[in-house]
Amino acid sequence: MRKDFVFGKQPLVEAMKAGRTFEKVFLLKSASGEFVEELFAYCNERNLSVQRVPMEKLNRLTRKNHQGVVAQLALIEYYQVQDIVAHAFDQGEMPLLVMLDGVTDVRNLGAIARSAACTGAHALIIPMKGTAMVNADAMKASAGALQSLPVCKVSSLERCIRELKNLGLKIVATALDNSSLIHDTDLDGPLCVIMGSEDLGVHKKHLVLADEALTIPMVGEFDSYNVSVATGIVLYEVIRQRSKTVPPGSRDQKLNP
């Protein structure tokens, strides 16, 4: 039994009362009753995924008496997007957020977090489902960035994009077609950058919500950059364009455009 798991109804309730953060909850398919209703209410409020699984799956996770429920503890705390944006504005800073759409490799997740932290991003936004988990490998690849950079986990990227636009952020997404070159795109202002997976890119329903699509110049035979490399390039262009202002967290440094 791994130490990052909590199993059994009462231990899980106690962990929730203690304010522990979970990465995922595995619940027996046939489970029902008051406990299940309370569990789903708790998880929905915190954008926490609950996965209905057969008994065999739970038995593989632990040989202990799990009572039909096993929860994986999160390695980090998760934040609310609205709180991150509000805090940035309160500090007189231009919010800079990075949203990941379909990035499933944990090493890419970690490397992106590192680039985001180095370029003064305020937070990383990931969906509840269809994304890399913040596990030990991701933490290692981030070189500690995931312990300092706020991460927001949301139930719907589409809804989050709409909320960010209402909060005054410009949304830009990377794309290969019908897009502007990165250096021709205005990135100097409150901003959220959407990065897609290397094979599928940003989902169409998210791309149409973006204020602008951008592309990074390339030569050679490859179709795209590695997503973590592409994120670093985009974020560097952001701070290059913002060079007249000092990026968050780097007030004692000067940027050379």
Q: HSE-up of 26 (CA within 13 Å, CB side)? A: 21
- Flag whether pLDDT at 252 surpasses 70: no
CA dihedral 205, 44, 56, 10 (to 10 degrees): 170
Contacts of 106 (CB under 8 A, 6+ apart): 132, 133, 134, 135, 137, 138, 141
The 8-class DSSP code of residue 145 comes to G
| Cβ atoms of residues 127 and 197 within 8 Å | no
Q: Which tens digit of pLDDT belongs to each residue from 180-223? A: 999 999 999 999 999 998 888 999 999 999 999 999 988 877 77
- Flag whether pLDDT at 256 surpasses 60: no
Q: Which tens digit of pLDDT belongs to each residue from 45-84? A: 887 889 999 999 999 998 889 999 999 999 999 999 999 9
Q: Which tens digit of pLDDT belongs to each residue from 127-177? A: 988 899 999 999 999 999 999 999 999 999 999 999 999 999 999 999 988
Structural domains present in the chain? 5-73 (3.30.1330.30), 81-241 (3.40.1280.10)
